[in-house]
Amino acid sequence: MYKTAMKTTQLGQTGLEITRVGFGAWAIGGGGWEFGWGPQDDEESIAAIHYALGQGVNWIDTAAAYGFGRSERIVGRALEGLVERPYVFTKASLLEGPDRKVLHSLKRDSILREAAGSIERLGVDAIDLYQIHWPIPAEDIQEGWAALAELKEQGIVRHIGVSNFDAEQLRVIGQIAPVETLQPQYSLIEREAEREILPFAEREGIGVIVYSPMGSGMLAGGMTRERIAGMAEDDWRKRDQRFTEPQLSRNLALVERLKEVADRYDTTPGAVAVAWTLLNPAVDGAIVGFRRPDQVDPILPAAGLELTDGDVAEIEGSTR
């Protein structure tokens, strides 16, 4: 089914051979909830998934929380009838609360219910990678991780990992069952993961897929003050510090540096930003959110783009 041979790598010790860029399904959950991205057309979302798969992408990362089931349902619809389906990764621990705000639960019974709901919405016989979305409440991470280990033993999920955990939390839950994967936020704007968590993952052989490698769209190349001002009121980014001053001016200057490098490679600032995250030896893959088919081609070259030390120095400027 895949038309293009994309660069792949092993995801930690899972045995999964993943393309270096994966389809992120946060934004296709649409608006109307605490971390929504504004209005989204479901048919356009399905078309984007099909197009990305056709270009060689072989994994999708979603979560029950994205639109509180909407993203998983859309992914499930996109998978219907495929002869060869991509790997499907999803997450648990965020529940729908009052006013469509997020509630956190790492209780065993809650996670088991969430897994059953995700399986049904996705229409799969097992989830390829099941992840704890956030280590909240911190005192329940062991109970939550034990529940994921139980699901793996039952064959309901094939591999287990976490998102947004720190190194000490990984040590704690690793005593219950091996942590196979980690999903941290990592980009030229958000570099905290470099301090401890990425080196820890590399030492421990934990697979890493990073989210928001383009800073939630800030580094894609098309972001302007006017565009931010015109964002839908239910687009969470409108209130995010990366999209407001004083960070906004600094981030737009970073995009200009990305453009300079992108022009040399005849590619896009977004592709360069993603390629930068893939340079880190701990990082196996980057999750990129596509909302429309036309957003795919400008970013996919990142999977094979090899930046030089000079490129990196130019891009980073004063971001360290």
> How do residues 38-73 score in pLDDT, each as one tens digit?
889 999 999 999 999 999 999 999 999 999 999 999
- pLDDT band for position 245 (cuts 50, 70, 90): confident
Answer yes or no: is pLDDT of 121 > 80. yes
Which range is least confidently modeled, 51-55, 177-181, 187-191, 239-243? 239-243
Answer yes or no: is pLDDT of 10 > 90. yes
Percent of the chain with pLDDT over 70: 96
126 contacts: CB under 8 Å, gap ≥ 6: 119, 155, 156, 157, 158
> Average per-residue pLDDT in the chain?
92
Answer yes or no: is pLDDT of 312 > 80. yes
pLDDT of residue 112: 98
Peptide linkage before 137 cis (omega within 30 of 0): yes
Choose among 104, 108, 128: nearest CA to 118. Answer: 128
139 contacts: CB under 8 Å, gap ≥ 6: none
What whole-number distance in Å separates Cα of residue 103 and Cα of residue 100? Answer: 9
Q: How far is CA 123 from the centre of its chain?
A: 21
What whole-number distance in Å separates Cα of residue 318 and Cα of residue 301? Answer: 26
pLDDT of residue 313: 96
- pLDDT band for position 4 (cuts 50, 70, 90): low
Write down the catalytic residue from 51, 66, 87, 211: 66
What whole-number distance in Å separates Cα of residue 214 and Cα of residue 22? Answer: 13
Write the pLDDT tens digit of every residue in 148-186: 999 999 999 999 999 999 999 999 999 999 999 999 999
pLDDT of residue 3: 47
pLDDT of residue 230: 76
Q: Identify the structural domains of the chain with CATH numbers, from first to last.
A: 16-316 (3.20.20.100)
Which range is least confidently modeled, 141-145, 150-154, 220-224? 220-224
Per-residue buried b or exposed e for 240-278, using 16+ beta carbons within 10 Å of the residue's own CB: eebbeeeebeebeebbebbeebbeeeebbbbbbbbbbbb
- pLDDT band for position 253 (cuts 50, 70, 90): confident
- pLDDT band for position 314 (cuts 50, 70, 90): very high
Answer yes or no: is pLDDT of 211 > 90. yes
Q: Across residues 283-300, what is the average pLDDT?
A: 95
What whole-number distance in Å separates Cα of residue 300 and Cα of residue 276? Answer: 13
Alpha-carbon dihedral angle through residues 273, 53, 114, 158, given to the nearest 10 degrees: -100
What whole-number distance in Å separates Cα of residue 245 and Cα of residue 231? Answer: 16
Backbone angles phi, psi at 89, to 5 degrees: -110, 135
Answer yes or no: is pLDDT of 207 > 60. yes
Write the pLDDT tens digit of every residue in 20-40: 999 999 999 988 888 877 889
Number of H helices, E strands in the chain: 10, 12
Looking up tokens 């972001």 gives: 223
Where residue 17 falls (left for φ over 0; alpha for ψ -120 to 50; beta otherwise) is beta
What whole-number distance in Å separates Cα of residue 22 and Cα of residue 317? Answer: 28
Answer yes or no: is pLDDT of 263 > 50. yes
| Structure token pair of residue 234 | 């239910």
What whole-number distance in Å separates Cα of residue 263 and Cα of residue 300? Answer: 16
* Residue 66 falls in the annotated catalytic set: yes
pTM: 0.92
In whole angstroms, how far apart are CA 222 and each of 82, 95, 100, 156, 264? 33, 33, 30, 41, 18
Q: Across residues 248-269, what is the average pLDDT?
A: 91
pLDDT of residue 318: 54
- Asked whether the CA dihedral 215, 128, 296, 76 is positive or negative, the reply is negative
Answer yes or no: is pLDDT of 187 > 50. yes
Answer with the residue of higher pLDDT: 227 or 80: 80
